[in-house]
Amino acid sequence: MPHSFNSIARSCGIAALVASMIVLGAPGAQADENVWPILKEQAFGDRPIQEEDGMVVLETPSKVEDAAIVPLTVRVPPSVKGKLKSLTLFIDQNPDPRVATLTFGPAAGTGGERSFSTRVRVDNFSHVRAVLETEDGSLHMTTKFLAAAGGCAAMQAKDPDADTADMGKTIVRTFPPAIESSPIWAAQVMIKHPNHNGMQLDINTAQFIPARFVKEMTVKRDGELVFQLDGTFSISTNPNFRFTFGRGEENDLDVVIVDTDGTVFTGQSRPKGS
């Protein structure tokens, strides 16, 4: 089954077929299938992963109102010191189970409570996982279960042309810490982008909307890398990211976004030309 997941991620035609099967099936029909061992092997090989050891915390809603917009927050407690290498989010039962991988740079910070939040689509009742890689190369995982379904193949009620108006408009905000001595700042990046996954129907034509979604995002603070995100269509429409970064001198952020069509969008936390 995981091999078909990868095929879906590569082929919009196959994704559309599977989407129609999922819509007709009962929610949670695949939720009992344990695909994680194969997903783990594909992503990390035979590397050991320490589970629920307190190095990483995952927050999910107790009740999901809309499976197409499910907020997730990952926190790294202040007790975890040093640099972080990467963070990968998984939704086991999604057509492409890997939601996103963040590869951290020197401006990500080395202390305080570090965090990352976004909104995701959940296709079927599923375990959600956050896997953190620390500076020494060790892997740490925490897991939650989400009772939600239908978020990937939901009918697109908006006119696709209207939905793409102002595509790429990017807002970048930074937030200084409440305590002056804190080693980290917070930030938010909001992108106007439909993030179509190839599995959604246009309500006006009953045709599948071609896939087009944010694939990469690079965030730099004062010219140094905070992280590079490699994303998939599991991220919700109009991607919204909140995250922390290490304190710098100016604390100005520059963001570069690339979607699957190769279009590049940019945003800054300060007015252009300042």
The whole-number pLDDT of residue 166 equals: 87
Q: Is the pLDDT of residue 243 over 70?
A: yes
Give the span between the Cα atoms of 134 and 236, in whole angstroms. 27
Residue of 94, 76, 72 whose CA lies nearest to 86: 76
Give the span between the Cα atoms of 11 and 2, in whole angstroms. 14
Query: What is the arithmetic mean of pLDDT over 261-272?
Result: 89
Buried b (16+ CB within 10 A) or exposed e, 80-105: beeebbbbbbbbbbbbbbbbbbbbbb
Indicate the CATH number of 2-268 among 2.60.40.2470, 1.10.3720.10, 3.90.950.20, 2.30.42.10: 2.60.40.2470
Query: What is the arithmetic mean of pLDDT over 226-255?
Result: 97
pLDDT digits (tens, 9 = 90+) for 50-98: 999 999 999 999 999 999 999 999 999 999 999 999 999 999 999 999 9
Residue ranges per structural domain of the chain: 2-268
The whole-number pLDDT of residue 197 equals: 83
The whole-number pLDDT of residue 33 equals: 67
The whole-number pLDDT of residue 236 equals: 95
Cβ proximity of 227 and 244 under 8 Å = no
Cβ proximity of 138 and 213 under 8 Å = no
Give the span between the Cα atoms of 236 and 243, in whole angstroms. 17
Question: Higher pLDDT residue, 24 or 115?
Answer: 115
Residue 185 CB-half CA count within 13 A:
19
Give the span between the Cα atoms of 40 and 155, in whole angstroms. 31
Q: Is the pLDDT of residue 202 over 80?
A: no
For residue 175, how far is the Cα from the chain centroid?
A: 21
Give the span between the Cα atoms of 22 and 148, in whole angstroms. 13
Q: Indicate the SS3 state at residue 205.
A: coil
Give the span between the Cα atoms of 213 and 195, in whole angstroms. 4
pLDDT digits (tens, 9 = 90+) for 142-179: 999 999 887 776 655 555 566 677 899 999 999 999 98
Which tokens sit at 155? 């009918």
